[in-house]
Copies of this chain bind each other. A is one copy, B any other.
Amino acid sequence: MTTAGRPRLTTKKRQGETAREEILDAAAELFTTRGYTNTSTRMIAEAVGMRQASLYHHFANKDELLDSLLSGTVDEPLAVAQALRDSDARPEVKMYALALFDADQLGRSRWNLGALYLLPELRDDRFETFRGHRYALMDLYREIASSMLADKRLTAMPGAEDLPFRLVETVVNRRADIEAGHSAPHGDHARVIAESAVRVLGWSGELESVHARAVELVDEHARDGRILAR
């Protein structure tokens, strides 16, 4: 059983249900291994098993490819962050849960797309969609961090509200160095990050029960988030 349209010359080379997904998968691999500007549309097409011009049936241009990929990495954590903010959990549990979910996701995704977050090219208006979503996520991290710091028993330096988000994004750097063979992987890195995220805000209480409660919350909201995203 085939589908409409002229058949490809090559047999399928990529995972993905639709042509769009095959293309995104190939582009993600090439962008993360060779760089964005350094990857030509011809290389992407070749990795998919189609002709260069055929890509343009699915994407208006190369930028749209990158914008789709990057937006895809932020949408799920963003949904989870909103759900967590609106939940009635304790602030340190929310913070821990968000960091845990996000760090885990950044560490396990098929390609390390986070390594492209700092590309100067992204400043361009064409990537407005992605930037907007990432900044929304950043603001939610800040909001949850601030709600923790409202508890005056926590003594964090002014400026510390920024750190949890930054700490989570270090998963990307670490992963890049692991892939380059210069850091060792470690079973539960997301947990290290989540613990640090609350510690840098001055939390000095125990972490066992925070962890347990956060895992419950994440399971719950990640499910909702995933339903939203599909």
Contacts and interface: CB of A to CB of B under 8 A. Distances in A.
Interface string A108-146: 000000011111110100000001000100100000000
A167 B169 contact: no
Given A135-B182, A159-B189, A177-B138, A120 B35 contact: yes
A91 B215 CA distance: 35
Interface in A29-68: 31-38
B158 A186 contact: yes
A36 B131 CA distance: 20
Contact of A118 (B38, B115, B163, B183): B115
A85 interface: no
B35 A191 contact: no
Given A157-B191, A192-B159, A35 B37 contact: yes
A35 to B, nearest CB: 4
Interface in A178-200: 180, 182-183, 186, 188-189, 191-192, 195-196, 199-200
B173 A169 contact: yes
Interface string A66-109: 00000000000000000000000000000000000000000000
A14 interface: no
Interface of A is mostly: helix
A19 interface: no
A115 B121 CA distance: 12
Contacts of A38: 37, 120-121
A210 interface: no
B174 A123 contact: no
A15 interface: no
A188 B158 CA distance: 9
Contacts of A138: 177, 182-183
A147 interface: no
A218 interface: no
A42 to B, nearest CB: 15
Given A35-B36, A35-B37, A157-B195, 14 more contacts: A31-B120, A33-B120, A34-B120, A35-B121, A36-B37, A38-B120, A38-B121, A131-B180, A157-B191, A159-B189, A163-B192, A167-B167, A169-B170, A196-B200
